[in-house]
Structure formats: C-alpha cells, structure tokens
Amino acid sequence: MENKKMQTDQARSARKKGFGVIISLLPYVWLFKWRVMAALACLVIAKVASVMLPVYLKQIVDQLSLPATAMMLPVAALLAYGFARISSSVFAELRDALFSKVTQGSIQRIATTIFTHLFGLSIRYHLERQTGGLSRDMDRGTKGIGFLMNFTLFNILPTLLELAMVMTILLVRYDVWFAVVIVATIAAYIVFTLVVTERRMVMRRRMNSLDSMANTQAIDALINYETVKYFNNEAYEINRYDTNLGSWVDSAVKNQISLNLLNAGQGVIITLGMIILLWMAADRVTTGAMTVGDIVLISAYLTQLYAPLNFLGFIYREIKNSLSDMERMFGILDQNQEIEDVPQATPLDTRSAEIRFEHVGFAYEPDRQILHDVSFTIGAGETVAVVGTSGAGKSTLSRLLFRFYDVTEGRITINGHDIRQYTQLSLRQHIGIVPQDTVLFNASIYYNIAYGRPDASHEEVLEAARAASIHDFVMSLPEGYDTQVGERGLKLSGGEKQRVAIARTVLKNPPILVLDEATSALDTRTERAIQDELYKITKDRTTLIIAHRLSTIVDADRVLVMDQGRVVEHGSHTALLQANGVYARMWAMQFAATEEGTDV
C-alpha cells in the first residue's frame, strides 16, 4: 500500500513538470468555457481578416499598375481592405476583453486553492518551510499563469493558424517551392529554438532557486530585526544577502548571454528564409510569370510572418520560463496533508468535555521518541497542570490535543471518543489556548481580540477585553482599539500581549482551555496580575496547564510531573510535596531561588 501511494505521488509530481503543468491548469480555465469559446471565435475571425489583407493589397496594386488609359479606381478592393483591417483590430480587442475574466479568475481560484492547501498541511511542513521563498514562488507562479494563458492562446495558436493559411494561399497561387522554403525556414527556426531554450531552462531554474534563497534570507533577517541588532550583525546579514544576490547576478548574466545568442541565431535563420523567398519572387516577375502585385503579396506575407515567428521564439522561451515558475507553485499542492479527517468523521459538539490520554506514545521522527506510555484524565471542568524539565514533552501534549500531529501509539479521547473521529475544525473550535509567546497580527488591537471569533459583535469584543482587564488600558491610548500593535505585536509589552491573548480566548469561549506556560516570560508582578485573569477564564472549563513556575499551579486540581517523556508523579500540590519526590525537589529549588531573589 505504501509503495502504491509513493508511485501515485511520483506520477502526480511528474504531471506537474514542464508542459504537464498545463494539464493542472485546464480545470480552472474550463470553469470559464463559454468565455474561452467566444474568445477563440473572435481570434479566428481576426486572424482570417489579417491574412486577407495582403490579398486585397495585391488587387489594389495590380489594378493601379495598368496603363493610365485603362486604370480604374479599385473601389471594391479598397473597401474590402478597409473592412478586413477594421475587423482584424476590433475582433482582436474583443477577444482580449472576453478573455481577461478567464485569466484573472483562474489566477484567483488557483491562488486560493494553494492558500487553502497550505492551511491544510501539518505543522511539520510549516516548521520546515521558508516563508520568503514560499511567498516568492507563489508570486512568480501566479504571474506565470497569466503569461502562459494569454500568450499560448493569443500568440502561439494565432501564429500557427496564420502560418497554415499563408502556406495554403501560396500553394494555391504559386508553385510548391514557395511553401517548401517557408516550411524549411520554420522547421529550422523551431528546432534551433527548442534545442537552445531547453538548455537555457537549467539556468532559469537555478536563477529561481537563488532568487528564492536571497528573498528567504532577507525576510528572515527583517522578521528577526531585534536579534540582528542585539548581536550587532547588520554587516553579517547584509554581506550574506549581497553574496546570495551576487550568485543570482552571475546566473542572470549567463542567462542573458545565452538569450542574446539565441536571438542572433533566430535572426539569421529568418533573414535567410526571407532572402530566398524574395529572390524567387523577383526572378518570376522578370520572366512575366508573376505580377508586381504578387511580389507585394509575398513581401507582405513575409513581413506579416516575420514578426510572429520572431515573437514565437520569445513566447516559447517565456512560456518555458513560466512553466518553470509554475512548477514550484503547483509543487505545493503535491505536499501531502499529514493530518486529514477520516471519511466518517463527525463534528464535536459539547460544553462539557472529559479528556483522556490513554497509553500515548509519540515521536516527531522515528529515532526521536518524545512521549512514552503517557496516561491521565482531565475531568469535565477540572484543571490539571503538567510540570517538568525542559524537553520533558509537556508542550507536545497540547500539540497532540489540537491534532497538529497524530499520536503514534495509544489514543486521546474527548468524552470517550478518539479525537481522530472528530472533524479537525470542530475539535479546534472547542479548544482555546493562551501560549507563552503571543504573536499578534500587524493590525489593530480590536482586530487581534476579535480574531478569537470574527463574527462577534462589537459589544462582545469589548466584554472580552474587560474580562481580560485590558479595556481600561486600551481606552487610555490615543487611538483606542484602533491602535496598531506592529509586526508580531512588538509595540505592546509582554503583559499587554498576554491580556490580548486572554481576551481573544475569552471571546472564543471554548469548553477546553490550554495554558502553555502562559506567564513564564513575564516578571513576577505582571505574572500575578495575569494569573488572576487566567483563574477567571478557567472556571467551569476543562483546563490543561503547562507550567514552568510551580507557584502558578498550586490551585490546580491535580499536578502531573513529567520527565523524559513519562509521567513520573501525579497528585495534588499538597500530596506531591508530602511525597517528597521529584515535585518536592523542584519546589524546593524554585523556592530557594526565589528567596535568593532569582526568578526561576
């Protein structure tokens, strides 16, 4: 089964390479099939009108080439020429207007699909991804979609259609050698373009990789602006960024040189073809086999074909570049969703939740076991605290409860049912968390509180702020709830951010609450103030407290002591002190440190 799944993934990945990307694009385009068909009809009419222009021009020249005594104004030919030129222009513009919705609508749907897929991927993927590179890949990919769709449909197809019609006219009107020369010129042009462009794609992919790398490094350094400043590493980051850009410049220069060589070769091929055709036409005029109008027609067709043929080379190169850009973007959709709802998953709906960890084992990697046979129960409305040394596996418990990962052994249940039987959406709607490091959106305080329940009324948001004891502080600010908190909330203090996090959780109003070292980053005075708010919101909620400071969990119903992924002690605060075991020693160490004035 595993091998079959791997083969399926490989096949899917192969389809997303090169021109296989177009197959991935078609379902989105087909949503606008009527517009596509109408645009194609306009395209054909415009191109037929364009191909007829030299024919009418020949008629005008031939009629004007007669002796003055026999000359008549070629009214019909002039009117036909004008009508064909107007039709070519009008239908081309109508085609673009019809197709605009197709292009932009497809880009919107694809970008939304990828954005949705990213939120469906596990936390493991997001811990490993590079935000800057991912953002650049999506940006280049969506731009590539617009280019691919417009130029494939409105340049390659019309050019091929025009070539077919021109060769048909030449075969009907003149001898076969004119068509032979055109076919030979086009064949040489296409073969040369394909061979050189394929080699250039290696350079393009390397350029994309280096571009993403430089962008990733730059965004990472800007996000960690304070850390860079703390360690005086501005010069180091600038040098690293400049080095990455230098590698990109070297690759871009090689890419440009290869482009110049390609353009020169294409120009030579087209020019040779034009010279041969003009020589053949001129020779036949001198022998009387062709008229001056015929050479005008052939010259017009040569001029008409030269631009699209030369453009065809550019289009092919750019389409290959776009496909390369889109490969990386569509590759995101090849990332498997590690955590998925089972087909028969049901929504969780309760206000009274009992949580059980039953013989839970978990490993982030096969050779890195984190939890070993962990079992405990949190009764409905009960508060259970988990303490232990760093790396004991405490925070992993909350990640498993949220189903950011699935257990590798045992199970976790809510009200007797395995949480894997519930939909992820309903499960997470029932759990609220106040984390140690509260990261806020770069928006207003109101937005960050309302994020707990976006459909909440204005009064409900204010009530949540009052419950978290932050309303008075917010109202004292010049802009009140419209105050911007800055990138990751850096304009607020640690205590202010924690109160926003508490207000957000109060607004969500979940029956299950997780406090993941919610006050460990705060000073003792702020911690005690925040602790009062936390006690209020844990009332009547099933609460899991992950704590570092033991003084914050003395009122918990039960305390679990973890060491190296195992529960080594459990009981009330008083009972554990009387047992004089691991917990008692931890308490003694923290109490002694507090007595000495050290905040542990």
Residue 368, strand partner residues: 365
CB atoms under 10 Å from CB of 4, counted, come to 8
Q: Going along 344-459, which residue ranges are E strands?
A: 355-365, 368-378, 383-388, 409-414, 417-418, 431-435
Say whether both 473 and 543 belong to one domain.
no
Per-residue pLDDT, 31? 80
More confident residue, 600 or 477: 477
Per-residue pLDDT, 269? 84
Give the tokens for residue 14.
């192969």
Give the tokens for residue 384.
């259970």
Go through 458-492 and write b for each residue having 16 or more CB atoms within 10 A of its CB, e for each that does not.
eebbbbbbebbbbbebbeeeeeebeeebeebbeeb
Please indicate, yes or no, if residue 1 is contained in any of the structural domains.
no
Closest CA to 134 of 331, 304, 312: 331
Q: If you compute the radius of gyration of the chain from its CA atoms, what whole number of angstroms results? A: 35
Say whether both 234 and 108 belong to one domain.
yes
The overall average pLDDT reported for the chain is 80
Final residue of a structural domain among 458, 488, 505? 505
Per-residue pLDDT, 128? 65
Please give the Cα distance from 378 to 206 (Å, whole number). 53
What pLDDT band is residue 17 in, cutting at 50, 70 and 90? low
Please indicate, yes or no, if residue 263 is contained in any of the structural domains.
yes
Per-residue pLDDT, 131? 61
Say whether both 151 and 243 belong to one domain.
yes
What pLDDT band is residue 361 in, cutting at 50, 70 and 90? very high
Say whether both 422 and 460 belong to one domain.
no
> Which among 282-291, 301-310, 318-327, 373-382 has the top mean pLDDT?
373-382
DSSP3 helix / strand / coil % (the chain, rounded to 5):
65, 10, 20
Residue 597 region, left (φ>0) first, then alpha (ψ -120 to 50), else beta?
left
Domain with 540, as residue range(s), is 346-430+510-600
Please indicate, yes or no, if residue 92 is contained in any of the structural domains.
yes
pLDDT for residue 4 is more than 70? no
pLDDT for residue 421 is more than 90? yes
Please indicate, yes or no, if residue 6 is contained in any of the structural domains.
no
Per-residue pLDDT, 10? 42
Please give the Cα distance from 11 to 59 (Å, whole number). 57
Per-residue pLDDT, 419? 93
CB atoms under 10 Å from CB of 27, counted, come to 11
Q: What is the pLDDT of residues 481-504, one digit of tens each?
A: 999 888 777 788 878 888 888 888
Go through 129-148 and write b for each residue having 16 or more CB atoms within 10 A of its CB, e for each that does not.
ebebbbebbbebbbebbebb
Final residue of a structural domain among 471, 505, 539? 505
Per-residue pLDDT, 11? 42
Residue 540 region, left (φ>0) first, then alpha (ψ -120 to 50), else beta?
left
Percent of the chain residues past pLDDT 70, beyond the cut: 86
What pLDDT band is residue 356 in, cutting at 50, 70 and 90? very high
pLDDT for residue 15 is more than 50? no
Say whether both 477 and 533 belong to one domain.
no
Give the tokens for residue 556.
């918990």
Say whether both 479 and 563 belong to one domain.
no
Phi, psi for 287 (deg, rounded to 5)? -90, -5
Average pLDDT over residues 180-207: 79
- CA separation (Å) from 320 to 148, 194, 386? 9, 10, 56
pLDDT for residue 599 is more than 70? no
Please indicate, yes or no, if residue 341 is contained in any of the structural domains.
no
Phi, psi for 570 (deg, rounded to 5)? -155, 150
Please indicate, yes or no, if residue 129 is contained in any of the structural domains.
yes
Burial label for 39, CB within 10 Å (0-12, 13-18, 19+), is: buried
Please give the Cα distance from 449 to 462 (Å, whole number). 9
Domains in the chain, number: 3
> What secondary structure does DSSP assign to 72-96, as a single string?
---HHHHHHHHHHHHHHHHHHHHHH
Per-residue pLDDT, 16? 52
Closest CA to 358 of 373, 379, 378: 373
Per-residue pLDDT, 184? 85
Please give the Cα distance from 386 to 397 (Å, whole number). 9
Per-residue pLDDT, 331? 75
Say whether both 426 and 444 belong to one domain.
no
Percent of the chain residues past pLDDT 90, beyond the cut: 13
Q: What is the pLDDT of residues 125-145, one digit of tens each?
A: 766 666 656 776 777 777 777
Per-residue pLDDT, 19? 58
Q: What is the pLDDT of residues 264-275, one digit of tens each?
A: 888 888 788 878
pLDDT for residue 415 is more than 90? yes
Residue 358, strand partner residues: 411
Say whether both 191 and 144 belong to one domain.
yes
More confident residue, 585 or 334: 585
Residue 564 region, left (φ>0) first, then alpha (ψ -120 to 50), else beta?
left
pLDDT for residue 523 is more than 70? no
**Domain with 156 in it: what CATH number?**
1.20.1560.10
Per-residue pLDDT, 311? 65
**Domain with 544 in it: what CATH number?**
3.40.50.300
314 touches 266 (CB < 8 A): no
522 touches 348 (CB < 8 A): no
Closest CA to 290 of 168, 164, 170: 170
pLDDT for residue 434 is more than 80? yes
Please give the Cα distance from 451 to 438 (Å, whole number). 13
pLDDT for residue 468 is more than 90? no
Average pLDDT over residues 7-13: 44
Per-residue pLDDT, 18? 55
Give the tokens for residue 271.
């020019």
Say whether both 471 and 571 belong to one domain.
no
Per-residue pLDDT, 360? 93
More confident residue, 69 or 550: 550
Please indicate, yes or no, if residue 339 is contained in any of the structural domains.
no
Say whether both 161 and 89 belong to one domain.
yes
Of 421-430, 451-460, 549-558, which gets the smallest average pLDDT?
A: 549-558
pLDDT for residue 337 is more than 80? no
Say whether both 403 and 301 belong to one domain.
no
Q: What is the pLDDT of residues 297-326, one digit of tens each?
A: 777 777 777 666 666 666 776 777 777 777
Residue 244 has, within 13 A of its CA and on its CB side, a CA count of: 16
Final residue of a structural domain among 291, 310, 334? 334
Please indicate, yes or no, if residue 471 is contained in any of the structural domains.
yes
Per-residue pLDDT, 82? 83
Per-residue pLDDT, 520? 63
Per-residue pLDDT, 375? 92
Per-residue pLDDT, 13? 46
Say whether both 220 and 283 belong to one domain.
yes
Per-residue pLDDT, 127? 64
